[in-house]
Amino acid sequence: MENSTGTIVITGASRGIGAATALMAAAEGYSVCVNYRVNDAAAEEVVNRIIAEGGRAIAVAADVAYEDAVSAMYDRVEDELGPVTALVNNAGILEPQGSFLDIDVDRLRRVIETNVVGAFVCAQEAVRRMSRSRGGSGGGIVNVSSVAARSGAPHEYIDYAASKGALDAMTAGLAREVAPDGIRVNLVRPGFIYTDMHADGGEPGRVDRLANGIPLQRGGEPDDVARAILWLLSDRADYAVGVSLDVTGGI
């Protein structure tokens, strides 16, 4: 087991890939902030599982797109768990599948607000606190993009794909900007992963429908992605900067 220490903030960690990453991070020795937006019970459940296994965790509600809420979250995490050394920008939303012309502007704004503005706000707050030039001790950030940034998700959700493309570009720039300050920024691109997100898109069985087209012949599990995220944050990846790591089974 990796002997990681420090404090990790994982956004949208009450379920899916975020929850899997929270549980695995705690098992590796991190103190974990389980960020969530509305589902108190689900976030507390993740925290209780971590504590039951001897780890440290707190659940903190904050909509990632709101600077004041995010700043207050980091303050609370630093008070209760210590300086933040890692951020996983995992929170993300998509809306029902449809064609390009189905994407009205309100929907587009909602998707960009969480997936792009939220990731920027959380990363800015992390950089303010981690930068060596600002008195911090450095750290790591992993952004959770998607294979949709490559495919564009035609006939499904081009808005979501575009928001993930924005994360790819943000990662490339931020990684190079803050590496001299001791912060490594990288990105994972999950493929088709078994989580409840596909029900939000209107097709709960989407991963099973697509599994035959995956070279590895199976859909991905949240743990498959969590392992990649935690590897990028670990010292084993200490020369990886601005990397986009596809975790897709080969698509």
| 160 noted as active-site residue | yes
96 contacts: CB under 8 Å, gap ≥ 6: 200, 201, 202
The residue to which tokens 């596909």 are assigned:
198
In this structure, what token pair is assigned to residue 103? 């994407």
The site string for ligand NAD over 45-74 (x = CB under 6 A, - otherwise) reads ------------------xxx---------
The yes or no reply on residue 23 touching ligand NAD (CB under 6 A) is no
The yes or no reply on residue 143 touching ligand NAD (CB under 6 A) is no
The yes or no reply on residue 192 touching ligand NAD (CB under 6 A) is yes
The distance of closest approach from Cβ of residue 215 to ligand NAD in the complex, given in angstroms and rounded to an integer, is 16
The yes or no reply on residue 201 touching ligand NAD (CB under 6 A) is no
Stretch that binds ligand NAD, among 34-42, 122-130, 168-176, 233-241 (CB under 6 A): 34-42
The residue to which tokens 């601005």 are assigned:
242
Residue 29 half-sphere exposure, CB side, CA atoms within 13 Å?
9
The distance of closest approach from Cβ of residue 248 to ligand NAD in the complex, given in angstroms and rounded to an integer, is 9
The distance of closest approach from Cβ of residue 60 to ligand NAD in the complex, given in angstroms and rounded to an integer, is 10
The yes or no reply on residue 91 touching ligand NAD (CB under 6 A) is yes
Residue numbers annotated as active site = 160
**What are the residues binding ligand NAD (CB under 6 A)?**
11-12, 14-18, 35-37, 63-65, 90-93, 114, 118, 144, 146, 190, 192-193, 195-197
